[in-house]
Amino acid sequence: MRSLLNFLARYDNLIIFLILEGITIYLLASGNNYQNTRVVNGIRSLTHGIEEKINNTRTYLNLREINENLAAENIALRNSIGRLVKRENSLFFSVSDSIYRQQYLHTPAEVIDNSINRQKNFFTLNKGRSQGVEVEMAVTSGESVAGVIVGCSENFSVAMSLLNIDFRLSARIKSNGYFGSLSWDGRDYRNAVLSEIPQHVTVNVGDTIETTGYSAIFPEGIMIGTVSDYEKKGGDFYIIAVTMQTDFKKIHFVDIIGNMKKTEQLDLEKLFQ
């Protein structure tokens, strides 16, 4: 009680001023239509501004949940398209499922650990065998290549990143169809190297590099990146620098892709190896 009295005694002039100021504003606003309208409009503008900032803050805090929902919806749409859409040639379907004639299944996952500064980089996902993930499933980020699953536990999996000197991927130039082997040289995390492209082939800076689908892991036509430079360095083949589409410093939500006909394809190919 004494503290309250001391506070009132110390700031009595300020308190009296504020009370009188409030009474003055009330009398001025209530006794004149013009002032009344201005005060009401001012209060409404202030209230609207505060509500807008609160709503923006709530939206920002909910971005994680929004991103997860969008990822799930995107995967559901891809699976639906896989079930319903045929190839241009009506004699063939893009699939292997006897019911839906679907070859690839998609499931979303979140990156919970990642490395980019080593010669052999990996990233960890929050999905495992319990969620249907298996070794040698493809991983994409957005619409571009990210890596391949190399290990699974019940609820987690580890993927070999494209930023790994042991990673090899069958890739082609989209404009002319010539394919070669793409790998990372361990230098710049944004650039890979495409080799085994003959020198008689026309190559241009900006050409799109995509997957061939020959590995039975990645579907055909997944973007890898674009040609940033190329040179003839002895022999009969180009050395082509490819700027990768995936930015591994920002990778967060990914798409795990399973080929439902991989085992059948690989078993058949083994007979002729």
| pLDDT at residue 94 in the model | 39
Query: Which pLDDT belongs to residue 231?
Result: 92
| Strand extents, DSSP E, 134-222 | 138-141, 144-152, 157-164, 169-173, 179-183, 191-195, 208-211
The answer to whether residue 226 scores a pLDDT higher than 70 is yes
- Which pLDDT band, with edges at 50, 70 and 90, does 223 fall under? very high
pLDDT bin (cut points 50, 70, 90) of residue 261 is confident
Q: What Rg, from alpha-carbon coordinates, does the chain have?
A: 31
| Residue pair 171/181 in contact by the 8 Å Cβ criterion | yes
Domain map of the chain by residue range? 2-61, 105-270
pLDDT attached to residue 264: 86
φ, ψ dihedrals at 212, nearest 5°? -90, -25
**Across the strands, what pairs with 105?**
258
Confidence label for 270 from pLDDT (cuts 50, 70 and 90): confident
pLDDT (mean) for 118-131: 94
Q: Is the pLDDT of residue 95 over 60?
A: no
Residue 219 burial (CB count, 10 A): 18
Range ranked top by mean pLDDT from 7-11, 97-101, 158-162: 158-162
Q: Is the pLDDT of residue 208 over 90?
A: yes
pLDDT at 87: 42
- 132 Ramachandran zone, left/alpha/beta (phi>0; psi -120 to 50): left
CATH architecture of 105-270: Beta Barrel (2.40)
Classified as helix, coil or strand, 178 is coil
Q: What is the mean pLDDT of residues 171-187?
A: 95
Q: Is the pTM of this model over 0.85?
A: no
Each residue's pLDDT tens digit, 13-63:
777 777 877 777 666 656 656 555 665 566 666 676 777 777 677 666 666
**Listed ranges 8-17, 65-74, 100-109, 198-207; the one with the highest mean pLDDT:** 198-207
- Which tokens is 128 given? 């495992």
Round the average pLDDT of the chain to a whole number and report it.
81
Buried b (16+ CB within 10 A) or exposed e, 179-191: bbebbbeeeebbe
**Res 163 pLDDT > 80:** yes
Q: How many CB atoms lie under 10 A from the CB of residue 159?
A: 26
